[in-house]
Amino acid sequence: MASARLKALHPLAGAVTGLAAGVAVAILLPGGLGTGLGILAAGAGAMLAMRAFERRSLARHELAMADVGEVKVRLATNAIRLDALSQRVQQMPMRDADAAPARAAIHELTAEVGLLGDLIHQVATTLADHETVLARLPEPAAAPAVPVPEVVLDPEAVRRERAEKLAAERAAAAAAAREEAEAERAALIGKALSEGGLEVHLQPIVSLPQRRTCGYEALPRLRLDENTLLLPHEFIETVEERGFGPTLDALVLTRALAIARHLGAKDGGIFVSCNFSNATWTSSRALATLTRILDKYREHTAHLVIEMPQAVFRELDPTSLGLLGAMSANGVRFALDQLVDLRLDPRALFDRGVRYVKAPAALLQAHLDGRIQSDIDPGDLATLLARVSITLVADQVEDNPAAADMIELGARMGQGQAFSPPRPVKPEVFAEPEPAPAAPPAPAPVETARPPASIVDRLIGQDRVAQAPATGSEPAVQENRPERLPFRAVLRRASA
């Protein structure tokens, strides 16, 4: 109890006690002896106060380290709980399209918990390093007295310093406001994506030079409210940073399959194409999910084309290439998109399932004008691709002169503002097809007794009705007309 009470005292209690004892000794003992003993008592009290301050700082440091350890333990426990929650979500009987947002949110929480644990670990490591450095530092020596120089104020320097400080404060405030606006925008985009605000617009792909529609490209749009519709370059980066890229691609793919189902009900072989984000192309798990969706709706994949950037195609790993082979086996065709050069191997592209090459009109015109040199002449590109059944599509054709240049280069198809801008899809395209009504069973023929006296008149009268021309008000009887019999057969049946 005594030690606990002593620890509870303030660190300055030792200094006050020593000073009081020194004054009392100096007063009680006369001469230099009392003064010396008083000074010694006061010094001892000061040393006790310093020692108490040091113990208190050590105790507070140990308490902080213990709190850091407790936080790390709690973070690890939460990470284990999140992992168990993710496993339960994966075991729940839900469709992949419905479970994808929940899985993406769980993955995001797991990443944030891991990041927070790493930060706590860095704080603990930094504190330990600081203690080690402070322990190795030598005792500070008494600094020699340095005369303080006379300070001369420079009004211009003071004004410049104030201006720089004000500019730094304004820049920091602007950065904070920008971060807050970006966070709010990311929250709105995530909410719109989770609430089904994704829309798909179609831009026609036409044949050249006839300009007849032979396909469509599905372009995603995100509806925030009735008056705000975001284009891909306004939300794709935020979606990928938040980890919702695979979810967005799954939604776009399901809508593209619905459009392919609608196109499959018509004649003409018109297809629809769609794009995936970079996060999906670099994730074998996301590609496997999309492969399962395609396998489930394989009866509609004949009218589907998946576009792939040239840079992504060149860096695919063996696992992703195998998944592309599985998609190709299900009837999916690919289009090489976003060309950066004309270094192409048509045979290798065909073996990977590529059936279309979409080259920007600006790139083809640059090669045609000689601004960019390549091994393949732009006028021969369409012919080289056609030899292995690959169609050259001129993309981003903005005006009619550019369309004329693409026709001259031999492009079989074209896409861009020169032909048609993207347009929204009608809601009935995404509606489930109604089952065909079952035909009612034909009523069984009822045989009635025919009076022999009037059978000739009845058969002749029915024959006359069947041969009478149809008028404008009464439809001609063609379907339920009785079988015509020869006149001898009629007489034979009447005399029977």
Query: Same domain, yes or no, for 364 and 225?
Result: yes
Helix (H, G, I), strand (E, B), or coil: what is residue 207? strand
Q: Does 219 fall in a domain? A: yes
Domain boundary among 429, 448, 473: 429
- For 185, other C-beta atoms within 10 Å of its C-beta total 15
Q: Domain containing 295 — which CATH number?
A: 3.20.20.450
The answer on 223 and 121 residing in a single domain is: no
Q: Which residues make Cβ contacts (< 8 Å) with residue 298, sequence separation at least 6?
A: 330, 331
Under DSSP, the state recorded for 429 is G
The partner residues of 396 in beta bridges, in order of sequence, read none
Q: Residue 275: helix, strand or coil by DSSP?
A: strand
In a domain, 459, yes or no: no
- Give yes or no: residues 211 and 86 share one domain: no
Q: What is 231-242 written as a DSSP string?
A: -HHHHHHHHHHT
Q: What is the pLDDT of residue 476?
A: 36
Asked if residue 474 is part of any domain, the answer here is: no
- Model pLDDT, residue 458: 44
> Same domain for 259 and 402?
yes
Q: Using the 3D structure, point to which of 395, 429, 463 is the last residue of a domain.
A: 429
Do 278 and 217 fall within a single domain? Answer: yes
Per-block average pLDDT, block size 10, for the chain (496 residues)?
A: 52 62 66 68 71 72 71 71 70 67 70 68 69 63 55 70 89 89 85 85 93 93 87 86 85 90 82 90 87 87 92 87 84 91 91 93 86 80 92 93 91 93 83 56 50 42 42 39 51 48
Backbone phi and psi for residue 449, each to the nearest 5 degrees, phi listed first: -70, 130
**b or e along 246-276 (b: 16 or more beta carbons within 10 Å of the residue's beta carbon)?**
bbbbbbbbbbbbbbbbbbbeeeeebbbbbbb
Residue 50 identity (one-letter amino acid) = M
**Residue 443 domain-assigned?**
no
Kindly state whether residue 91 falls inside one of the protein's structural domains: yes
193 and 92 fall within a common domain: no
Domain end residue (candidates: 429, 454, 482): 429
Closest CA relative to residue 289, chosen from 87, 83, 101, 80: 101
**Structure-token match 């999916």, residue found:** 332
461 domain residue, yes or no: no
Q: Are residues 210 and 96 in the same domain?
A: no
Q: What span, in angstroms and rounded, lies between the C-alpha atoms of 235 and 224?
A: 11
- Please report whether residue 373 resides in a domain: yes
Do 68 and 207 sit in the same domain of this protein?
A: no
Q: What is the pTM of this model?
A: 0.54
Same-domain pairing of 202 and 301: yes
- Residue 161 identity: E
Tally the domains of the chain.
Answer: 2
Which class for 393: exposed (0-12), middle (13-18), buried (19 or more C-beta within 10 A)? buried
Same domain? For 123 and 203 the reply is no
Is 476 in contact with 469 (CB distance < 8 Å)? yes
Q: Are residues 127 and 231 in the same domain?
A: no
User: d(Cα 290, Cα 97) in Å, to the nearest integer?
Assistant: 10
Q: Which domain holds residue 398?
A: 186-429
112 and 225 share one domain: no
Tell me, yes or no, whether 62 lies in a domain: yes
Q: Which of 333, 328, 395, 412 is nearest to 359 (CA)?
A: 395
Crossing angle of the two packed helices 318-329 and 284-296, in degrees rounded to 10: 10
